[in-house]
Structure 1
């Protein structure tokens, strides 16, 4: 019998004390959980992201929402479209009539008069040039005075000035006539009339006034988001991104984009060189042409739809990411290759 067993015979109450089974179970469970948590923080990867909210837009300014302006001042004579109307290129939108209904006729009559004046000036110039050649021959033969020869030269120059003035007057008249002829405003391309901004018939409008809002039909969509200035240096052209469209069911795991549901892939197209007034930078993200899943159809993600985007950066351990977030540090910088370029290790 060992010494411990010999002594334990004198402590009968101590012999009756045993560690409960449930406590041993809890201890083992907590120990395993701690070990698993440490392994999780060290070895499980986390994809760092940066991004923000924005809207769907387009790169080509011709495909963005446009305003239809009045080309001349006048009175609205007739509308050919209404809110939501679909138009083809060249279809009439509105006709504007001048306040003076006889203005076009008077301008055409004025052009005819100016053309007659121009022809008269040209005939006078031709006659003056004939006189100049005759006076030059007489002067060279000694049959005419120098003064008469110089006066003939002056008359030729005067006639040339009259021809130039008549041509300028004709150009002005034709310009005014062309402007007044642009009273029928047509659609610049295929699209839709989103709203009518001017009044009904008999409403007076001035040149340049907005008459309607036009939305082109064919559009190449991109996502416009605004990134915090602290993270903009980490965003590179060609970086991958995940996009969540408003109204589209989605479950996003920013650190594990491969298991995200309802988000769509994108590629960073460009990053603004100058910040906005609030200090954020605009980032344009286009659709990934190599992705298996494309963006939603236009009717689900129209121009102006609110989106949220996550730009994928470096892959780091989960523990490092938690430590970074607690200390409010910026994401990890991408490694720099020998030629000075950055090679980001983006996660999938």
Structure 2
């Protein structure tokens, strides 16, 4: 009697065939892992920025205490350097006229003291001549000299007071806050209506126009020694659809190429190192109107080519990224 299960067993491949199939498959996989290349990378994240702090977003603050007057700009408005932003009025509306009157009084006092000094000098010369003829005494001559010293001291003090009052008047003239650079006004804090502000209080932000962009990436401190100036970097900007294959950058879609231009010599509090990435000439980055300052960015620093099998083995064992042993050698001549 033949059972159905027996018939199925007879139809199944033999144990030898199964082992042979597994062996061939293993050999093929091993060969593929040996031949397929893999680009080692170091990943990092950061944002779009500029090298010079003067080209980054800047805060516009109140130069002094006062009331907000007329605003000359709105959010999103483009301005040129020196264009008026907002007027700050003094809490005392008559302060400027009083300062001008005080300035005039000090200037009149200076003129009077200068005239008194001239008369004192003439008086000293006269008593000097009279002393030689016996018509004056040494005491009167010395009193005339002391009088000249007093007037000279008064003149110096008056000039200091005049300088101070001029500074106060200049501050009144500088109450019109102006744009420090060419750019676009963003995040205007207050509206009109006599709002009181304190010195250095935030009023608005201005983003510069037409400045070159770079990317600041943060990489792990343990990976920083592997990064060098001139290394190629693949970048993915937030808002740009992209498909990035870490080991095969040549098949990536939607990424942009860059080059490491600077590696920071210090780490941040969490042990990360900052690197700057500049554009490469092969493909331009998006223009400044699309690639705004502060755009979040992911980056992959391209290192050496290894086989896929080695990379899997390295990661499984937790070994560091493959680098040339010569790069780790310390110059003995320098140390000696």
In structure 1, what is the equivalent of residue 276 of structure 2?
Answer: 284
Q: Name the counterpart of 2:32.
A: 40
Bigger Cα displacement from structure 2, 194-203 vs 144-153? 144-153
**Displacement after TM superposition at 1:32 (Å):** 4.7
> For residue 78 of structure 1, what is the aligned residue in structure 2?
70
CA-to-aligned-CA distance 1:275-296 (integer Å, 9 cap, x gap): 11211112221112xx321112
Q: Is the 8 A contact 1:51 1:225 kept in 2?
A: no
Verify the 8 A CA contact 1:138 1:144 in the aligned structure 2: yes
Aligned residues: 323
The equivalent of 1:4 in structure 2 is none
Per the normalisation by structure 1, the TM-score is 0.84
CA contact (8 A) 1:63 1:218 kept: no
Structure 2 gap segments, 5+ residues each: 1-8, 332-336
C-alpha separation in 2, matches of 1:19 and 1:220: 72
- Counterpart CA distance in 2 for 1:158 and 1:82 is 57
Q: Which runs of 5+ in 1 are unaligned?
A: 1-16, 342-348
Q: Aligned with 2:289: secondary structure?
A: coil
Does 2:284 align with 1:294? yes
For residue 34 of structure 1, report the CA deviation from its aligned partner: 3.1
CA shift for structure 1 position 88: 2.0
Question: Higher mean Cα deviation, 88-97 or 291-300?
Answer: 291-300
Q: Which residue of 1 aligns with 2:85?
A: 93
CA distance in 1, matches of 2:150, 2:90: 38
Query: Which of 246, 251, 270 is the aligned partner of 2:243?
Result: 251
- State the shift of 1:139 in Å: 4.2
Pick one of 97, 117, 127 that aligns with 1:105: 97
Q: Is residue 301 of structure 2 the alignment partner of residue 311 of structure 1?
A: yes
- Deviations along 1:110-154, one digit per CA (max 9) or x if unpaired, are 111111111111111122222223333444566543322322222
- Look up the match of 1:152: 144
Partner of 1:111, secondary structure, is helix
User: In the alignment, what sits opposite 2:318?
Assistant: 328
1:270 aligns with 2:262: yes
- Residues 38 and 247, structure 2, Cα contact 8 Å, conserved in 1: yes
Deviations 1:295-339 (A, max 9, x none): 1223332111111001112222222221221122221234547x9
**Which residue is equivalent to 1:209?**
201
1:59 aligned onto 2:51 = yes
**2:43 and 2:209 mapped to 1: Cα distance?**
29
1:169-188 counterparts in 2 under 5 A? 169-188=161-180
Quote the RMSD (CA, aligned, Å): 2.7
Rate the CA distance shift 1:295–1:110 in 2: closer, same or farther, 3 A: same
**TM-score, normalized by length of structure 2?**
0.87
Q: Which moved more, 1:317-326 or 1:145-154?
A: 145-154
Residue of structure 2 in register with 1:14 after alignment: none
